A and B are shown apart, each in its own frame.
Chain A
Amino acid sequence: MRYLMMTTDDASAAGGPPDEAMMAEMGAFIEEMTRAGVLLATGGLEPGGKRITSSGGKVTVTDGPFSEAKEQVVGFALVEVRDEAEAIEVSRRFWAIVGDGRGTIQRVFGPGDDFPG
């Protein structure tokens, strides 16, 4: 089954840039997880982004920043695991490298999670 892991940021912590040792450790972790077939896709997100609103058949694009946004998703990882416990374990390893922070993991439903078809 697949889970989407997201790291969120409410701008309360003045997080400096990650140091080199942490980046190296994270790089090794990402490589290991990719090779194990656990990590399917990952990336960091630009702050803010654009807001898309669809209303009455009309799509409106609004530029950020959005002052009312309390929490923003700043990074994501899509993982393939055997069960929720494994997703939590992968998450635990991620946070052991990153340190303080918060995020969510949510099961992803879609074609292909009903093995066998």
Chain B
Amino acid sequence: MTSDAHRTAETVWRLESGRIIAGVAGVVRDVGLAEELAQDALVAALEQWPESGVPGNPGAWLMTVARRRAVDRIRRDHRYAERLADIGHRMETAATAEVDPERIEDDMLRLIFTACHPVLPEPSRVALTLRMLGGLTTTEIARAFLIPEPTVAQRIVRAKKTLGDAGVPFEVPSGADRADRLSSVLAVLYLIFNEGYAATSGDDWLRGDLCREALRLGRLLAGLMSREAEVHGLVALMEVQASRARARTGPSGEPVPLPAQDRALWDPLLVRRGFAALLRARELGGPPGPYVLQAGIAACHARAATAADTDWPQIAALYDVLARVAPSPVVELNRAVAVGMAHGPAAGLAVLDAVAGDAPVRDRHLFPSVRGDLLERLGRDAEARAEFRRAAELTANEAERRALLRRAGGA
């Protein structure tokens, strides 16, 4: 059955391409070339499997074929001649089917760090990560990000060239810039997650898939870097946020804010996974980084059986630390909400008005909407209504605009 063999090949590719590309890159030390050779192996599978049948271990078959092609390429191509000495001793083992699992894990880690290298612009890091580690096609990436396919294809080609031109070594950074480089990897994963998470239309499952891809890659990274608290922190944050997916949108597509969500719709399995990841992060000790802190805040919400049970003083305290560790106007905005819930609307308003000078935050609908909330609780109704009107003008979501206008008194 041709179509069955093809489907199996494509599925195995999606599941295993990260490992395969990493395994080949471990031989050729060049991620662009590695991806090309791995793709060749996929093409070979699509040609041969319908005739010969699907091999018993299809992933290993692809790996072996790709690595053999890598060895052939290096022997044939004079451009790689200088690499021969460097990788000569690896070549002998590369062409055999035996793959050392620990080596592959190291290579996967190298691949992640290379794909997220700061020499690349952020959109390229995202595309390369999804392509090489997530096994997504250019078409899938383009559809998920709502951008034209040629744009994605061009980004990937350029990114590979940039990595080659810059002579980026295929390695996991050590020493001084390791923390920065890890931050860059985590930022790419969280960016992918948020791209899916921010998609507010319920039938747009393709974008929601990005949440799953980011989670998958995060869990993978947590396995590869089990000693890094921030990796577990990011995974915990994504698991807990993903657990709320069903509860975040109301029947007419309006976003449902956290306090109003039906907690019965939160996925308990993902919540538990989030807690487990957060525990692992805390066991590692050390001062909590931004992702561990954000995961702690998300876990506080997840622990509350009802909105009224929320431990706002604890959340406000975590935001205080976050504001010191990773200060940003957006953090201040969220901190204002938490402080307003924990210590009263006047305290919240003081935090909020301290960032009113930041135009990008001030001009997002969340700012006037939060401010309106706090003013309303202080009994300053006319000012509150003016803020809700302003928020209604700024939001892009129609259902949310109607809700804000209702609070503004229909004006």
Contact = CB atoms under 8 A, between A and B. Distances in A.
Interface of A: 28, 35-38, 40-41, 80, 82-83, 85-86, 88-90, 96, 110-112, 114-117
Contacts of A96: 56-57
B184 interface: no
Contact of A37 (B202, B215, B243, B249): B215
**Main SS of the interface on chain B?**
helix
Contacts of B220: 35-37
B196 A116 contact: yes
A28 B105 CA distance: 14
B376 to A, nearest CB: 28
B99 interface: no
A73 to B, nearest CB: 20
A75 B391 CA distance: 53
A116 B56 contact: no
A117 B242 CA distance: 9
B274 interface: no
Contacts, number: 85
Interface size range of chain B in the complex = 35 or more
B15 A89 contact: yes
A99 to B, nearest CB: 12
Given A41-B269, A111-B246, 5 more contacts: A85-B10, A111-B267, A112-B245, A114-B246, A116-B202
Interface string B200-235: 101011011101100110111011000000000000
Nearest to B7: A85
Interface of B: 7-8, 10-12, 14-15, 56-57, 101, 196-197, 199-200, 202, 204-205, 207-209, 211-212, 215-216, 218-220, 222-223, 242-249, 264-267, 269-270, 273
Given A36-B220, A86-B11, A89-B8, A116 B199 contact: yes
A116 B7 contact: no
